[in-house]
């Protein structure tokens, strides 16, 4: 969630009703990228509570995902380089190599037994608690927890980069865990459905393709 300005614009892009927007922003008139973190985090706590109550879950997810942080610059360049360097390898092997390269800041990832991509985001663990990986809300003392759906921002970040690195399309399935609703007991972690039907034969990702019914987003 890099910029409150972009977030506000996204609400219009997704046709969120003015009445809902007014309720989300009640008490928060001027919000910009320069607004201090504590205020931004209080705003997102309030905004998300309203969104969770008034909007369908897919829409909340899509809006936060559309605001995912750090998609360009050095991160993107690294992701493209990984895609090129490991082009000959299958997904499981690529994931092993990505997980062994902490400089990428892509955490660690694996395919679970159903062929879903499981991403454990970089674990920020400054004290004895995990922090959300999102720079907009990390490392501050808050009065109350932000709803866990905030992590769709983090999930969108990893989705973007893993799609490039693996050369597949991913569909976000769920937030496996979040520091927000566990009081920092658990890190940000995500599970994605691999949509690409072009996986090499024998790849565990292929197991997904026999699932005929649409994936239920939780």
> Looking at beta carbons only, is 153 or 170 nearer to Zn ion?
153
Residues 107-146 that bind Zn ion (CB under 5 A): 132, 134
Nearer to Zn ion, 66 or 215 (CB): 66
Q: Among residues 150 and 193, whose Cβ is nearest to Zn ion?
A: 150
Q: Nearest distance from residue 178's CB to Zn ion, in Å?
A: 6
In this structure, the number of other CB atoms found within 10 A of the CB of residue 21 comes to: 16
Give one DSSP letter per residue of 10-44, joined into a string. HHHHTT--HHHHHHHHTT-----TTS-HHHHHHHH
3-state secondary structure of 172: strand
Neighbour tally for 25: CB within 10 Å: 18
- Using CB under 5 A as the binding rule, whether residue 199 contacts Zn ion is answered as no
The nearest distance, CB 26 to Zn ion, in angstroms, is 23
CB nearer to Zn ion: pick between 31 and 132: 132
Single out the segment in contact with Zn ion by CB under 5 A; choices: 49-57, 68-76, 109-117, 169-177.
68-76
Residue 40 CA from chain centroid, whole number: 18
Stretch that binds Zn ion, among 71-79, 88-96, 166-174, 184-192 (CB under 5 A): 184-192
Under the binding rule (CB under 5 A), the answer on residue 188 touching Zn ion is yes
Asked whether 180 and 147 are in contact (CB, 8 A), the reply is: yes
What is the C-alpha to C-alpha distance for residues 117 and 210, in angstroms, rounded to an integer?
16
- Cβ contact 178:148 at 8 Å: yes
Among residues 1 and 173, whose Cβ is nearest to Zn ion?
Answer: 1
In angstroms, the CA 18 to CA 54 distance is 12
Query: Helices 37-54 and 18-25, interaxial angle, to 10°?
Result: 140
Residues near Zn ion (CB under 5 A), total:
8
Taking CB under 5 A as the rule, which mask of x and - marks residues 151-170 in contact with Zn ion? x-xx----------------
- Which tokens sit at 121? 């985001």
Closer residue to Zn ion in complex, CB, 69/89? 69
Q: Does 69 sit near Zn ion (CB under 5 A)?
A: yes
Q: Which residues bind Zn ion (CB under 5 A)?
A: 1, 69, 132, 134, 151, 153-154, 188
């Amino acid at each position: 969630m890099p910029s409150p300005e972009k977030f506000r614009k996204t609400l219009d892009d997704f046709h969120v009703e003015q009445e809902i927007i007014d309720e989300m922003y009640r008490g928060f008139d001027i919000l910009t990228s320069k607004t201090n973190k504590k205020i931004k985090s209080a705003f997102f706590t309030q905004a998300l509570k309203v969104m969770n109550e008034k909007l369908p879950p897919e829409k909340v997810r899509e809006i936060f995902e559309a605001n995912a942080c750090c998609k360009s610059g050095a991160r993107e360049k690294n992701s493209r380089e990984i895609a090129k360097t490991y082009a000959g390898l299958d997904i499981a092997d690529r994931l092993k190599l990505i997980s062994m390269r902490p400089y990428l800041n892509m955490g660690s990832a694996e395919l679970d037994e159903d062929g879903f991509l499981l991403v454990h985001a970089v674990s920020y663990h400054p004290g004895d608690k995990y922090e959300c990986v999102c720079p907009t809300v990390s490392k501050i003392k808050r009065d109350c927890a932000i709803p866990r759906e905030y992590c769709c921002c983090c999930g969108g970040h990893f989705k973007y980069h893993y799609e490039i690195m693996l050369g597949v399309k991913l569909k976000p399935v769920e937030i496996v865990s979040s520091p927000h609703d566990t009081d920092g007991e658990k890190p940000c972690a995500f599970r994605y459905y691999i949509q690409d039907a072009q996986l090499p034969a024998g790849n565990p990702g292929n197991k997904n393709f026999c699932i005929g019914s649409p994936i239920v987003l939780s």
